[in-house]
Amino acid sequence: MPRNVTFFLVVAGIASCHSAARAETLEDVLSTAYNSNPALMSARAGLRSTDERVPQALSGWRPTVIVTGDAGRGQYFNNFSPLIADWSERNVMDYSVVLTQPLFSGGRTVAQTSQAENAVQAARAQLAGTENQVLLAAATAFLDVSRDSAIVTLNINNEQVLGKDLDMTRARYKQGELTRTDVAQAEARLASANAGRRAAEGNLQVSRAAFQALIGRPAEQPDFPSAPPVLPASLDQAVSTALDGNPVIKAADWQARSARDGIDAIEGELLPTVALRGTYGRNVNEFLSKTQARSTEGMVTVSMPLYEGGATYARAREQKEFWGQRLIEVDRAKRDAVQAATQAWESAQAAHARVVSFASQIDAAQLALTGVKEEAKAGARTVIEVLNAELELFTAKVDAVAARHDELVASFQIRAAAGTMAAKELSLPVEFYDPDLHYRNERGRWFGLGGD
C-alpha cells in the first residue's frame, strides 16, 4: 500500500469537519516564522553588528585629523623691574591641525581586517544555523498541532461510536438478549474513551500554546503535508551532506580562522610602527601690538616597542590557546552533525516502517471489526469482543497519525542537519534576507552614525 494512503484514510474526516475554515499549510507557518520570529530577527541584528567590525579594522589604514585651539583674554601684572610695575591686558588665541597617516603598523591592520571578515562569515553561518533551527521548530510545532488535532477528532469519533454501542447494548439488555455485565463493559469502555478524549484535548492545547509562542499567533486549521521532503538516498549520503552543509560546522571553522588572525594582530604590537605626521599651527597674541606666529611641519615618526612588561606576550599566548579551543570546537561540531544526521535518518526510517505497518494493521483491524460485528449479530461473538475490535482499530489509527508525524519531523531534522532547512531551499514565498547587503553598504563607509 502506498505510504500516504493510511494517513489520508485517517485524516480525511478531519478535513471535512472543518471545510468552512481555511486550511493552514506548513508553507504558511514557515513563511510567518521566517518573517517575524524574534530569535531570527535577533540573529540578523547580531550579524549587522558584526559587519561593523570590518570598517573598524579598515580605519587602521585611514588618516586621523585632530584640531585643537585656545582663545581667551587675561590681565597680567609684573614688577620685574623696580622702575616698571604695571598691569596689562592681552587677547590670546592659538590653534593647530594635526594630520596623521599610518604607513606601517606591524601588520596589525591586515590581521585585524582578516579577523573581522572571518568573524562576519562566522556570523553569517550562525544566522543560517538559527534560520534552520527556527524553521525546524516551526515545522515541528505545526506538525504537533496537526497530529494532536487529528487525534482529538479520532477520539471524538471513537467516543461517538462507543456511545451508540452503549445505547444498542442497553436496548438489547432490555430485550433480554444481553446481561448487565455486557452493559457495564460498554459503559466502562465509553468512560475510558471520554477520559482519552479529554487528555487528547489537553495535549492539543499544549501544542497550540507552543505554536503561538513560536509563530506569534494562534494556529488555524492545520493541513498535514501530503509527503515528506526529498531526502538523501542513504545514511552515508545524509551524513556526507551534513558534513558539507551544516551551518554549525561552518561557523566553527570561520571562528577558528578569526582566532588565528587574532594571533597575528597581537604579535604585530611587538613590531615597529611608522606614520606620516603633518602639523599646522597659528598663534595670535595682542599685547601693545598684534603679534602672530605660524608653523607648518611634516615628519615621519617611527616607534619601536622594546619591553612592555610582558603583557603583550601573555596575550599572544592566550590567543594561541583560544585558537586551539576553536579548532577543537570544529571537530566537536562535525561529530554533533554526524550524530544528528544519523539519529534523524534512523528515526525517519523507523517511522516510515511504522506507517507501513499501521496501514496493514488498519486494513486488518477494519476487516476484523466488520466480521466480529456480523458474528455478534448471530450470537457467535460477545459485546466485549466487539469493543476490543473497535479499540484495536482506533488505536491503530491513532498510532498511524503519530507515526506519520514522527516521519515528517525526522525528515525535516535531516534537512536541518544538512543546513537545507532554510527559506531558499524550501522555496518559501517570502522576500529573502540578504546577509551581504548591510556589509556592502558599511564596509567602505568613512562617516555617519547610522540609524537608530
DSSP string, 104-151: E-TTHHHHHHHHHHHHHHHHHHHHHHHHHHHHHHHHHHHHHHHHHHHH
Q: Does 84 reside within a domain?
A: no
Cell (9 digits) for 333: 561540531
The CATH number of whichever domain residue 340 belongs to comes to 1.20.1600.10
Q: Say how many Å lie between the first and final Cα of the chain, rounded.
A: 59
pLDDT at 257: 97
In tens digits, what is the pLDDT along the chain, a chain of 452 residues? Answer: 344 444 444 444 444 444 444 578 899 999 999 999 999 999 999 999 999 999 999 999 999 999 998 888 777 666 665 555 566 666 778 889 999 999 999 999 999 999 999 999 999 999 999 999 999 999 999 999 999 999 999 999 999 999 999 999 999 899 988 889 999 999 999 999 999 999 999 999 999 999 999 999 998 887 777 766 778 889 999 999 999 999 999 999 999 999 999 999 999 999 999 999 999 998 877 665 566 788 899 999 999 999 989 999 999 999 999 999 999 999 999 999 999 999 999 999 999 999 999 999 999 999 999 999 999 888 888 899 999 999 999 999 999 999 999 999 999 999 999 999 999 999 999 999 999 999 999 998 888 887 65
Whether residue 109 contacts residue 266, with contact meaning beta carbons closer than 8 Å, is answered with no
Q: CA of 243: how far to CAs of 108, 206, 288, 415, in Å?
A: 33, 35, 83, 12
Measured between alpha carbons, how far is 326 from 339 in angstroms, rounded to an integer?
20
**Domain extent for 28:** 5-62+107-270+311-443
Q: Does 100 reside within a domain?
A: no
| Burial of 415 per CB tally in 10 Å (0-12, 13-18, 19+) | buried
Whether residue 39 contacts residue 239, with contact meaning beta carbons closer than 8 Å, is answered with no
Q: Does 89 reside within a domain?
A: no
Q: Does 373 reside within a domain?
A: yes
Q: CA torsion sign, 55 to 59 to 65 to 70?
A: positive
pLDDT at 299: 93
Q: Does 291 reside within a domain?
A: no
pLDDT at 232: 85
**Count of structural domains within the chain:** 1
Q: Does 156 reside within a domain?
A: yes
pLDDT at 2: 43
Q: CA of 25: how far to CAs of 34, 70, 221, in Å?
A: 15, 71, 9
Q: Does 301 reside within a domain?
A: no
3-state secondary structure of 12: helix
